[in-house]
Amino acid sequence: LFPRGRTTIAPGAVHVPEWLDAARQAELLAACREWARPPAGLRTVRTPGGGTMTARQVCLGLHWYPYGYARTVVDGDGAPVKPFPVWLGELGRRAVADALGPEAAAGAAYDIALINFYDADARMGMHRDSDERSGAPVVSLSLGDTCVFRFGNTENRNRPWTDVELRGGDLFVFGGPSRLAYHGVPRVHPGTAPPGLGLRGRLNITLRVS
Ligand code: AKG
């Protein structure tokens, strides 16, 4: 049985609103605040063209930089990346089972997390998550402010795409034929975070298998 409200956006791409209850959101936020502390804490990502990404990032398990992975923060303080906790991998497998079914979750050994923090002006351009060798589904968990999540096609950054409102507590999983779909965040709606959470801005946690 799948959770209520589960919506298929494209084959293999599923949105599950309100997947994390308020207590789980608070736990995850507390964990993110710990992970954001140095060493290997929240950093501004520099792009190859000389610019910077507007969402700031901290990684677990392996450190992502444009466009690769490393065991140390190669474009920051040089510290070893923080470990990927076992409980987060279990959460990832449960997310995939709820979104895509138990077969899709079997054997998905999540070992990387990218945590992006968006303030009111942050955005993320259309891109593909193609730096992982594994084809395991990407699990995305959102906390805080609502955003517009643009889920596109696998060919290019252009239409067709579907704009999905991701709210704090929502789950989005994309795997199978949608694993390499372009996606991005054109807009965050400031001040829309659940009032009790104590987060100003938006956090997104993606879990991946290297
Ligand atoms: C990424 O980490 O690659 C994302 O696209 C994040 C998407 C989001 O913030 O919802």
Instruction: Quote the CA–CA distance of 138 and 112 in Å, as a whole number.
Output: 10
Residue-range domain boundaries for the chain: 7-208
C-alpha 116 to ligand 1 mean position (Å): 7
Ligand 1 atom with minimal separation from the 166 CA: 10
**Helix (H), strand (E), coil (C) string for the chain:** CCCCCCEEEECCEEEECCCCCHHHHHHHHHHHHHHCCCCCCCECCECCCCCECCCEEEEECCEEECCEEECECCCCCCCECECCCHHHHHHHHHHHHHHHCHHHHCCCCCCEEEEEEECCCCCEEEECCCCCCCCCCEEEEEEECEEEEEECCCCCCCCCCEEEEECCCCEEEECHHHCCCCEEEEEEECCCCCCCCCCCCEEEEEEECC
What fold is seen in the domain 7-208?
A: Jelly Rolls (2.60.120)
Would you say the CB of residue 129 lies under 6 angstroms from ligand 1? yes
- Of 62, 185, 189, 208, which is best to mutate to test ligand 1, by the most ligand atoms within 8 angstroms of its C-beta? 185
Q: How confident is the model at residue 209 (pLDDT cuts 50, 70, 90)?
A: very high
pLDDT tens-digit series, residues 56-107: 999 999 999 999 999 999 999 999 999 999 999 999 999 999 999 999 999 8
pLDDT tens-digit series, residues 170-181: 999 999 999 999
Q: Which amino acid residue places its CA nearest to atom 9 of ligand 1?
A: 204
pLDDT tens-digit series, residues 107-161: 899 999 999 999 999 999 999 999 999 999 999 999 999 999 999 999 999 999 9
Q: State ipTM.
A: 0.99
Would you say the CB of residue 57 lies under 6 angstroms from ligand 1? no
C-alpha 90 to ligand 1 mean position (Å): 20
pLDDT of residue 1: 80
The percent of residues in the chain predicted with pLDDT above 90, rounded, is 99
Mean pLDDT in residue range 33-43: 98
pLDDT over threshold 90, residue 42: yes
Q: Which amino acid residue places its CA nearest to atom 5 of ligand 1?
A: 184
